[in-house]
Amino acid sequence: MGISAKETLLSQPFWIVLPLLVGSVTVLRILFSIFQWTYAYLIRPGKNLTKYGQWVVITGPTDGIGKAMAFELARKGMNLVLVGRNPEKLFKVSCQIKAEIPSIELRTVVIDFSGDLSEGVVRLREAIKDIDVGMLINNAGLSQIIPKFFHEIDEITWANMVNVNLLAPTIVTSVVLPCMVGKGRGAIINVGSGSTVVIPSYPLFSVYAGTKGYVRYLSKSLHTEYKSNGIFFQCQVPCYVVTNITPGMKSSFFVPTASEYARSAVRSIGYESLCIPYWPHFLQYLLVRLCPAEFFLDKFVLRAALHLRSKADSRRNNKQTGVSS
């Protein structure tokens, strides 16, 4: 009678069997991860977002990711409450959206997130009191354009970043969340930053990274608090996207346009509480994870930030002397 493969394996010394078992488990985990990745980014359909409610509140909708997400959600039949500081820009983007999707309803609310929020909060409460708000997109964000050491940033600049990136999403969430708690459903999406997930530190952008770290942990904690109430919190983590806060950056494989990113972002709503929606950004994350030590990553990111700083100084000097860059 022949000996089975199982019996043959079990008859081997332990020091031979253990590496084989560990290797098999590792291969299975890798294969499962590849399947999960393929399904999430290439196969998995977006959710029916109207199940949360017919209206979505979006902050920072006049440029970049916020504007692109407003268009994407409108195309899916969501009515919009656009919240921003510039009434002319809000009116312009409202007209653009209505021209493309005339069937949806639109409201605008003026709030200067870098200033006194009290009057704006009153206007927001008034705007949403009679509608079924199902989603909130906390997208408004602020960063310094030129990389700077912390001691070089003036108090007004970093205070504005703290107000827009940290205080504003907290307050807007506090306004919208009670509506969702009352009906037992809703989704709140906070736009974070790859600086809090993909890389271990973000030198010369320290205040920006610190505020986005707050957004990440606020989202995770609130998701744990409210998921039993039917309310979904998600922190979406973009890396570089072509927007106004990345001047001079051109679209590439790893750097999508705002519209390209928004399609992935909207399709990811309702799944993981922390996600990297755009798959090349997730590939960047995996490549960074291969680095054996944070020391090398920190050094590389610092060098890249200093290079950006040098280029920005060069452009500024060329403008002052009339030289084309």
Mean pLDDT of the chain: 87
What number of other Cβ atoms are within 10 A of residue 307's Cβ?
11
pLDDT at position 304, please? Answer: 87
Burial of 268: CB neighbours in 10 Å, binned 0-12, 13-18, 19+: buried
pLDDT at position 324, please? Answer: 34
Query: Of the listed 41, 52, 208, 278, which one is catalytic?
Result: 208
pLDDT at position 321, please? Answer: 46
Which tens digit of pLDDT belongs to each residue from 253-311?
Answer: 999 999 999 999 999 999 999 999 999 999 898 888 887 777 788 888 899 888 888 87
271 belongs to the catalytic site: no
Confidence of residue 20 (pLDDT cuts 50, 70, 90): low
Write b or e for each residue in 26-48: b if 16 or more Cβ atoms lie within 10 A of its Cβ, otherwise e: eeeeeeeeeeeeeebbeeeeebe
Distance CA 305, CA 299 (A): 10
Q: Which fold has domain 52-288?
A: Rossmann fold (3.40.50)
pLDDT at position 322, please? Answer: 47
Which tens digit of pLDDT belongs to each residue from 158-171?
Answer: 999 999 999 999 99
Identify which of 240, 216, 265 has the alpha carbon closest to the alpha carbon of residue 69. Answer: 265
Distance CA 5, CA 16 (A): 15
pLDDT at position 146, please? Answer: 87
Whether the Cβ atoms of residue 49 and residue 270 lie closer than 8 Å to each other: yes
* pLDDT higher at 291 or 51: 51
* pLDDT higher at 312 or 186: 186
The three-state secondary structure class of 62 is coil
Identify which of 146, 237, 244 has the alpha carbon closest to the alpha carbon of residue 195. Answer: 237
The whole model's pTM is what? 0.86
Distance CA 277, CA 218 (A): 19
Confidence of residue 9 (pLDDT cuts 50, 70, 90): very low
Identify which of 78, 47, 58, 74 has the alpha carbon closest to the alpha carbon of residue 176. Answer: 58
Q: Is the pLDDT of residue 16 over 60?
A: no
Distance CA 175, CA 128 (A): 9
pLDDT at position 300, please? Answer: 87
Which tens digit of pLDDT belongs to each residue from 98-138?
Answer: 999 999 999 999 999 998 899 999 999 999 999 999 999 99
Distance CA 290, CA 158 (A): 33
Confidence of residue 70 (pLDDT cuts 50, 70, 90): very high
